[in-house]
Amino acid sequence: MPHSWDPDRYLTFADERGRPFVELLARIDATAPSTVVDLGCGPGNMTDLLAQRWQAARVVGIDASAAMIARARSRGSAVDYRVDDVATWTAPEPVDVLVSHATLQWVPDHLELLPGLVGQVTPGGWFAFGVPANFDEPSHTLREELAAEAPYAEQTAGVASPQAFDAATYLHALTGLGCTVDAWETTYLHQLSGPDPVFTWISGTSARPTLAALDAELRPRFEAELKRRLDAAYEATPAGVVLPFRRVFVVARTPHP
């Protein structure tokens, strides 16, 4: 079921969403790449970091959302932003560094894409990505449970839902392709503030397809009930509302000829 992305909502927690990208980037040991691609670049705030690190490289940002690409282009950077489907994207020529952050979880059966993605990286080049791994947390399970209830189930059936694997699964898949792989997992404890902060967080990402599927009558009811359940699951503390967020990171170097 198609849905759109809202750059403003996504950027509400830009610092928290950006930190994993920075930590992934730090483990890429490329020195002077000619071409760098950000697959699933979103609004471009993190893609700019690639251009800052490798200033001599041609940096390309790819995203399926026209709204995200429009926001990225408005930043006025030298990055070449293009609308394209991550699942079917093909590089016109091999790239030296291919990065994908918080994107592959939206691509069904994305393990099957790994051989093709690795094949688009130059020998001895770098393929690095990160995906969420918190799908058993209340931020996901409460949304799924509520969406499966009446009267919402009829409208939310078949909506896109993120899915990813653990670090070991990606390590074995990429090692099997001849790559040298560094894979790890980190659980962040995001300290959120403001009204309904967990709902605000997920409404820009994992919950957006569900919310977009609901009509104007049901959506406010759904949002109010989901906020109530999330507030009960994530209580305010002196540190704020703490949102545990586990992520998987993978940095693979493709085999030399």
- pTM of the predicted protein model: 0.90
- In the beta sheet, which residues pair with residue 188? 245
Rounded CA separation 213/231 (Å): 23
pLDDT in tens, 70-94: 999 998 889 999 999 999 999 999 9
For 217, list phi and psi in degrees, rounded to 5: -80, -45
pLDDT of residue 115: 97
Q: How far is CA 180 from CA 94, 174, 185, 197, 213, in A?
A: 18, 8, 17, 39, 41
Kindly report the three-state secondary structure assignment for every residue of 28-48: CCCCCCCEEEEECCCCCCCHH
- In the beta sheet, which residues pair with residue 248? 131, 185
Are the C-beta atoms of 142 and 229 separated by less than 8 Å?
yes
* In the predicted structure, residue 127 carries a pLDDT above the cut 70: yes
pLDDT of residue 14: 54
* In the predicted structure, residue 3 carries a pLDDT above the cut 60: no
Residue 101's nearest CA partner among 1, 205, 175, 194 is 205
Are the C-beta atoms of 21 and 47 separated by less than 8 Å?
no
Rounded CA separation 248/235 (Å): 26
pLDDT of residue 85: 95
User: CA torsion 60→63→65→70, rounded to 10°?
Assistant: -10
Please give the single-letter amino acid code of residue 242.
V
Please give the single-letter amino acid code of residue 164.
A
Q: How far is CA 86 from CA 2, 62, 79, 189, in A?
A: 15, 7, 17, 29
Rounded CA separation 147/135 (Å): 15
pLDDT of residue 15: 67
Residue 3's nearest CA partner among 155, 119, 197 is 155
- In the beta sheet, which residues pair with residue 131? 248
pLDDT of residue 40: 95
Instruction: List the structure tokens of 231.
Output: 């507030």
187: enclosing H helix or E strand: strand 180-192
Rounded CA separation 117/88 (Å): 10
pLDDT in tens, 208-230: 999 999 999 999 999 999 999 99
Rounded CA separation 36/121 (Å): 10
Class assignment of domain 7-253? alpha beta
pLDDT in tens, 4-63: 444 444 444 456 778 889 899 999 999 999 999 999 999 998 999 899 999 999 999 999
